[in-house]
Structures are given as structure tokens and as C-alpha cells.
Structure 1
Amino acid sequence: MTPTAHDTATLLKRITLDPGVCHGKPTIRGLRYPVESVLEYLAGGDTFEEVLAEFPDLEREDLQACIQFATQSLKLRSLHLVAA
């Protein structure tokens, strides 16, 4: 099921950028969980359930937000490549 624009916007609110947290890298809800690290776990084959068991502070929507953030980032990069 493809998320709606509203769903995507709601999920992306979970991703925060703060120069004082993780050197300004995108993190989940201001916690010290970089989006990049969570995506590496998922890309390495860990399931949502495994990641959530390892990091009890996280919620399923946080993992979905990481994927949406990556998707949006890739779309923006593609647009920049086409425009160049």
C-alpha cells in the first residue's frame, strides 16, 4: 500500500535535524538514532521486529519514517541530476 501525501508528511515529522545531536545528521524524534544506521540494519536483512526488539525506544512508525525519508531524499537527488 502506497502512503498518501498526508501519511508521508506525518511520518517525516518523526525525522529531526539538530546540529547538537549526532553532528546534525537526520535522527529519529531527536533521539540519538541516526536514520542512516536504522536503514543499514534494514538493508542488512533485519526485520522491523528485530530492530524494534534491539531498540525499544523506537516505534514501527519510526522505521517507516526512515524509509520515507530515504525515498524522498532519492527523489530529490534524481530531480537534481535531471536538472543538471
Structure 2
Amino acid sequence: MGPFDRITHTPTVMGGKPCISGMRVTVGMIVGQIGAGHSVDEVLAAYPYLERKDILQALRYCPYHLGE
């Protein structure tokens, strides 16, 4: 497992945008929620199927893959 083992790219899912593995939740959506001022706990409450590790990995992933 790589450093981003919770994130996948599948061309037929969400237009190939990076998503949390096995879900139709994009990294961009998570980063957007945090950028809008929501806390990690607020995002977890709004999306109870996510895990804290999913959000933290999405935040780490974003600076390296802004063009995707």
C-alpha cells in the first residue's frame, strides 16, 4: 500500500477524479468542505461513512495533485 492507499482514480467513477476508495466522494469535495471552514469533525458528521483517515489523507494528497 502506498502513501495514498485510501484514494483511487477510476475513469468511469466521478469522471476519473480522485475519490476515497470504494466511494463516490471526491478528494476535491473533502478539501472544499475544509476550505469552506468546516472542521474534520463536522465533515465526519455530515458524511458518516467517511473515516478520519479518509479526510486526512485527502488533505495530504491535494497539494501533490492539484492538476487532476
Query: Does the alignment reach a TM-score above 0.5?
Result: yes
- Which residue identity lines up with residue 43 of structure 1 in the other structure? G
Contact 1:25 1:34 in 2 (8 A): yes
Cα distance in 2 between the residues matched to 1:24 and 1:73: 13
Which structure is larger by alpha-carbon Rg, 1 or 2? 1
Amino acid aligned to 1:19: P
Match of 1:30? 22
User: 1:46 maps to what in 2?
Assistant: 38
Gaps of 5+ in 1: 1-7, 78-84
Structure 2: stretches of 5+ with no match in the other structure: none
Match of 1:69 among 58, 61, 65: 61
The TM-score with structure 2 as length reference comes to: 0.87
Contact persistence 1:18–1:30 (CA under 8 A): no
Q: How far has the Cα of 1:66 moved from its partner?
A: 0.5
- Deviating beyond 3 angstroms after TM superposition, the runs of 4 or more aligned structure 1 residues are none
Query: SS in structure 1 opposite 2:45?
Result: helix
Q: Secondary structure at the match of 1:19?
A: coil
